[in-house]
Structure 1
Amino acid sequence: MLRGEGVERLGDVAVLDLDRRRRTGIPEVVLAGPKHAGEVAEIAGALLERTGSACVSRMRARHRRAVEALAADRGARLLAYGRRSCRLLASGAADPPLQGLVGLLAAGTSDLEPLAEARMVCEAAGCATTTALDVGVAGLERLFAPLGAMLAAGADALVVAAGMDGALASVVAGLAGLPVIGLPVSTGYGAGGRGRAALLSMLQGCAPGLVVVNVDNGVGAGAAAALVARRRAGGPFIG
């Protein structure tokens, strides 16, 4: 049932969706990039106070400083995910119970930030994660051991982050009998740069079970993977 509960106006800055995690299974994420540092801190602080946690994505240096100051002032735990994403947990707040396992794979070191964003969302949604880095198709032998370990551990869904040609997502989907979320990354350059070639390659892939989010959309990839993983693990669809 759709309801309008859990909505709270925060001055002229934001309208907080406090009920989002219960309604959808995925908590609200504060997109820092286009906002002033003070706005990010105000919104994150309000979420922290009302819900016990806050997720922030696409931070720049000024946002990170503001969020770190907020955490220190509130006595909150700050969990960093790469350089640009973080979670805040209020003092005494517990992580949600873990349901499901998401495997995260990055083709190259340059693909880590969007993948870290996806990991943040998965863990905030109550999924365990395991990560393999620098396993792209330029050295395919690097992929087999970590992918095999993820499958042996009972992974319920996979997120594959890749820039350049984006080929890793199709390869993984052809090897693993799991839902694979392709996360094209804007690390490529030249004619197909800024993730265009990676996005089109993943969309055009012939391996079954591969679905694709937009370029650099780690939040979307993490949310999709978490919902699939929790459902496969027998958890509730909503939080």
Structure 2
Amino acid sequence: MRTNELRKLLEEVKDGQIEVDKALDHLKELPYKDIGIAKIDYHRELRNGYPEVIYCEGKSIDHIQQIIQEMLKGNNNILATRAKEDVYQAVKEICPDAAYHALARIITVKRKEVVTPDSYIAVVTGGTSDIPVAEEAAITAEMLGNRVERIYDVGVAGLHRLLGNLEIITNAKVIIAVAGMEGALASVVGGLVDKPVLAVPTSIGYGANFHGLAALLSMLNSCASGVSVVNIDNGFGAGYMASMINKL
């Protein structure tokens, strides 16, 4: 947003020509910064409650560096998903306080504290192989200002492991269930709790798993009420949605 536009809007609020709520609506629709290779959406946090997230896959290292440099001018927290080790090393050159979460393939930069509610999100996995997707969900939720409890490797092949952690799961405000193979974990969890369950199918499994399609269809066809499904391996989407639910 140009300076003269902002000054005019502030003057109108001050003179009572426009209500604060209407001025806020104007601000929500206005500013972004065009840096040539990307348009940085500065007001996404104002509109949606969370700042813009950088999806690194498919972007060049140079473009990622430019985007992060621009976003850091506003002292913003940075969440960059699907980032490889070489991308992280390049980001460290311009931002020494960047952290890399290798399992989740996420780069984070924390410049300001985010208010965290007392309630928490539980992230549950069927197996150890599902942990990378689960960590993408967990790190995303934590960066958006949530407490996360991790309960890993409690799939239906050994149901006693899940039941042994039931108290932690049932006390969460929202549960993220991450599973590959046949994806049965989401239905089991959904049948045990009175909280929303976000199901994340993973591409883990043998041939007939079809790279996560079998788990996706199982979760979509769940007979348990209160289960919603995100895309295959979409830990980020689940973490983001869980954060929105946890903060309601």
TM-score > 0.5, shorter chain as reference: yes
Deviates more, 1:197-206 or 1:216-225: 216-225
Amino acid at match of 1:57: T
Counterpart residue number, 1:96: 114
2:213 maps to 1:196: yes
**Conserved in 1, the CA contact under 8 Å of 2:124 and 2:150?**
yes
2:247 maps to 1:230: yes
Counterpart residue number, 2:93: 69
Shift of 1:121: 2.1
How far apart, CA to CA, are the structure 2 residues paired with 1:145 and 1:22? 41
Superposition pairs of residues 27-66 of structure 1, within 5 angstroms:
27-66=51-90
Superposition pairs of residues 144-223 of structure 1, within 5 angstroms:
144-151=163-170, 154-223=171-240
Counterpart residue number, 1:8: 33
**Conserved in 1, the CA contact under 8 Å of 2:156 and 2:185?**
yes
Counterpart residue number, 2:14: none
**Conserved in 2, the CA contact under 8 Å of 1:203 and 1:211?**
yes
Counterpart residue number, 1:17: 41
Task: Pick the aligned partner of 1:105 from 112, 124, 135.
Answer: 124
Shift of 1:56: 0.6
Greater RCO (CA < 8 Å, at least 6 residues apart)? 1
**Conserved in 1, the CA contact under 8 Å of 2:92 and 2:98?**
no
**Conserved in 1, the CA contact under 8 Å of 2:201 and 2:216?**
yes
Superposition pairs of residues 70-149 of structure 1, within 5 angstroms:
70-72=94-96, 76-78=97-99, 80=101, 82-90=103-111, 93=112, 95-99=113-117, 100-149=119-168
Counterpart residue number, 2:11: none
TM-score scaled to structure 1, two decimals?
0.86
Secondary structure of the residue aligned to 1:121 is: helix
Counterpart residue number, 2:21: none
Summarize deviations over 1:1-52 as a string: whole Å, max 9, x none: 4732341112x22111122223212332111111111212221222222242
**Conserved in 1, the CA contact under 8 Å of 2:98 and 2:107?**
no
Counterpart residue number, 1:236: none
Secondary structure of the residue aligned to 1:55 is: strand
**Structure 2 residue runs without a partner (length 5+):** 1-24
Give every structure 1 segment of 4 or more consecutive aligned residues whose post-TM-superposition deviation is greater than 6 Å.
Answer: none
Structure with more strand by fraction: 1
Q: Do the aligned partners of residues 32 and 86 (structure 1) sit closer, same or farther apart at CA in structure 2, a change above 3 Å counting? A: same
How far apart, CA to CA, are the structure 2 residues paired with 1:225 and 1:81? 22
**Structure 1 residue runs without a partner (length 5+):** 232-239
Alpha-carbon RMSD across the aligned residues, in angstroms, is 1.8
Summarize deviations over 1:144-189 as a string: whole Å, max 9, x none: 23232233xx411011111111110111011111000001111123
TM-score scaled to structure 2, two decimals?
0.83
How far apart, CA to CA, are the structure 1 residues paired with 2:102 and 2:164? 24
How far apart, CA to CA, are the structure 2 residues paired with 1:148 and 1:178? 13
Deviates more, 1:184-193 or 1:206-215: 184-193
